[in-house]
Copies of this chain bind each other. A is one copy, B any other.
Amino acid sequence: MKQDLDRLMAERNLDAIIVEGPDGFANANPDFTYMTNGVSLTGTVLKRRGEPAMIVYRAMERQQAAETGLTMVLYDRWNMREIRQASADNFSAMVEHRRRMLTDLGISGRVGLYGTVRAGPFFAIMVALAQQLPNFEIVAEFENDLFAAARLTKDATEIARLRDIGQKTCEVVQAVVDFIQSGHAHEGIVVDAAGTPLTIGRVRALIGRELAARSLSSPYGTIFAQGRDAGMPHAEGDDAAALQLGQAIVFDIFPRDQAGYFHDMTRTFSIGYAPPELQRTYDEVLGAFDYVISELEAGAPTKPYQDMVCQYFEARGHDTIGRTSPIEEGYIHGLGHGLGLEIHEDFGFPSGADRGDVIVPGAVFTVEPGLYYPSKGYGVRIEDTIYCTPTGEFESLTPFPRQLVIPIH
């Protein structure tokens, strides 16, 4: 949680942090968004250990800067026009502006770097600054960094948001089921009253409207993948295709709310009926899902859950990433991932090297076993977003039934 930042900085021996918030990344800068309390603006957050965080903002965004609740520092406190006139070029001016800013605000010692940036300019500026500042050691954390640790546990405000977006996401999925059931079967596909096929494109348009009506967006799209596409975890689905009876449909939806928080859920459907092989595979995936949920325990390391699912599937004749890598069919990915201000946060259930991730109270993560057989024309995944409460219980934030077949007239 945010209140842990000073303690976590002390653990990492960080004297200060810089969280970059350059223009154009408002929706893709979770650490910056975390610090600005969800307010979108261009700027830089600076914080010395034990002191309040500061936002360096432009005059044009005074109002947004005030909304962050952070200590406000105007960018032009170091007059950029004057600095430019005294500099050889814009690059030198940018470095000089930043040098003055860091010096005057006391950002020195061991300094952690965070935020989303443009690779080239950021690299150039930091290399130049490191040369010019006497007491400035860049600490570039690689994984399980300060923000991953802070953001891993959600506070009550965040949980309220995550619960709300989960509820709304389920409403959107229900609207899709209702839409499918508003059609009827005709020669192996679903058509509307006028006889026009219900296509994946029409479903996707409906999803867009239903999300918008709930002030949700889908910045990374939505997976609605049928048949062979359902066998490829990242295939989005073919908008031109009509909905077919008896085909696996993997419907994976991961919308974002206006403050930047995500939900992530997957249901696998088969319209009208399910062929026996698909039903059997579905039952195995659901079995794995239920097994994991029943075994979840606060304080437990994550890796054994991934191993457990691999063994579960291997015992049923499936290849898994636990014994084969790279792998293209069978159980081919990790069991889940942390989520919050990112769909994929820095927490997982690894098959490879164990980083020591542990399920701590306050964590929010997905559980999403799946089996993929593109060569056989199907795939199955079932996914809920799960919350480990402060008292160590587990709550699904995805209140939606897990049922394969959508009956249809």
Contact = CB atoms under 8 A, between A and B. Distances in A.
Nearest to A143: B90
Contact of A28 (B25, B61, B125): B25
Interface stretch (A184-192, A206-214, A312-320): A206-214
Contacts of A208: 212-213, 215
Q: How many copies does the complex hold?
A: 2
Contact of A63 (B117, B213, B235, B344): B235
Given A123-B123, A217-B217, A63 B141 contact: no
Interface string A319-351: 000000111100011000000001110000000
A63 to B, nearest CB: 5
Contacts of A215: 205, 208
Interface in A110-127: 112-127
B352 A81 contact: yes
A143 B123 contact: no
28 contacts: A18-B119, A24-B343, A25-B28, A27-B27, A27-B219, A40-B220, A40-B221, A59-B326, A59-B328, A59-B332, A60-B234, A60-B333, A64-B234, A84-B352, A90-B142, A91-B142, A94-B142, A117-B117, A120-B140, A120-B141, A121-B143, A122-B123, A123-B138, A123-B140, A124-B141, A205-B212, A205-B215, A219-B219
A20 interface: yes
The 7 closest A-B pairs by CB, nearest first: A28-B28, A124-B140, A208-B212, A120-B140, A212-B212, A76-B326, A91-B142
A220 B217 CA distance: 11
Nearest to A81: B325
Interface in A23-37: 23-30
A342 B24 contact: yes
Contacts of A28: 24-25, 27-29, 116
Contact of A120 (B90, B113, B118, B218): B113
Given A23-B344, A25-B116, A145-B120, A205 B213 contact: yes
A361 interface: no
Nearest to A121: B142
Given A90-B353, A119-B116, A122-B123, A60 B142 contact: no
Given A113-B120, A219-B219, 8 more contacts: A24-B343, A59-B326, A91-B142, A114-B120, A115-B119, A116-B118, A122-B123, A205-B213
A7 interface: no
A102 interface: no
Contact of A113 (B84, B119, B143, B355): B119
Dominant SS at the A interface?
A: mixed
Nearest to A146: B120
Contacts of A115: 118-119
Contact of A117 (B30, B81, B116, B141): B116
A343 B74 CA distance: 24
Nearest to A228: B63
A81 B94 CA distance: 41
Contacts of A91: 142-143
A61 B234 contact: yes
Contacts of A116: 25, 28, 116-119
Interface in A42-86: 59-64, 74, 76, 79-81, 84
Contacts of A40: 220-221
Interface string A362-403: 000000000000000000000000000000000000000000
A162 interface: no
